[in-house]
Structure 1
Amino acid sequence: MTAPAGWRPVLSRSALLRHDPVRQADLLIVPERIVVLNEEAAAIVGLCDGRRTVADIVAEIAAEFPGGVEADVVEFLDRVRAEGWLR
């Protein structure tokens, strides 16, 4: 599966992005699960606001984390979408 060209990802209603000051980490809180995100994953999820397209998100992440991240960002979005955490 690959992200549709015009898709504007947004967190599902059952998912929350929160920062845990104790762990000094960003967390994706979903039903019956807490996912600790690394810096890049948290940045990607943070951009999933329903306004940005996948291409917009890739461009912003590439500016922040140089080094050919397009395929990684799309793959990550596909995985998170498959889990039902993005719509």
Structure 2
Amino acid sequence: MKFDRQQVPSWRQGYRFQFEPAQNGHVLLYPEGMIKLNESAGLIGSLVDGQRSVALIIASLQERFPNVPELGADVDDFMRVAQEKSWINLA
């Protein structure tokens, strides 16, 4: 099932995405703790700015990684999980 790629994701209030040297990767900080993201999720998360649509995030990643055919589906999956876990808001 495709995700609505015209939606614009933003991090939920109280959540902060950042690179954490001690974790050697990107993390999502929130009042109750921290989520360490894998490399792919970190790349996607770095493009979540409340301005870009999911489609633009995919396009940006496809420019960087042109030989990854499942990239769009991976971004869709990340957005679904992030929404289910209430990490992001979608507009």
TM-score if structure 2 supplies the norm length?
0.82
Give, as a single letter, the amino acid of the residue that structure 2 aligns with 1:77. M
Structure 2 match to 1:70: 72
- Paired with 2:83 and 2:31, the residues of 1 have a C-alpha distance of 15
Query: Segments of 4+ in structure 1 off by > 3 A?
Result: none
Q: For residues 3-82 of structure 1, what are the structure 2 equivalents within 5 Å?
A: 3-65=3-65, 66-68=67-69, 69-82=71-84
Q: Which runs of 5+ in 1 are unaligned?
A: none
Q: Whose strand proportion is higher, 1 or 2?
A: 2
Residues 11-36 of structure 1, C-alpha deviations (whole Å, 9 max, x = no match): 01121112211221111113423111
Q: What displacement does 1:45 show?
A: 1.0
Q: Which runs of 5+ in 2 are unaligned?
A: none
Tell me the SS of whatever aligns to 2:44.
helix
- Paired with 1:28 and 1:55, the residues of 2 have a C-alpha distance of 22
- Paired with 1:4 and 1:58, the residues of 2 have a C-alpha distance of 12
Contact 2:19 2:27 in 1 (8 A): yes
Give, as a single letter, the amino acid of the residue that structure 2 aligns with 1:25. G
Contact 2:26 2:42 in 1 (8 A): yes
TM-score if structure 1 supplies the norm length?
0.86
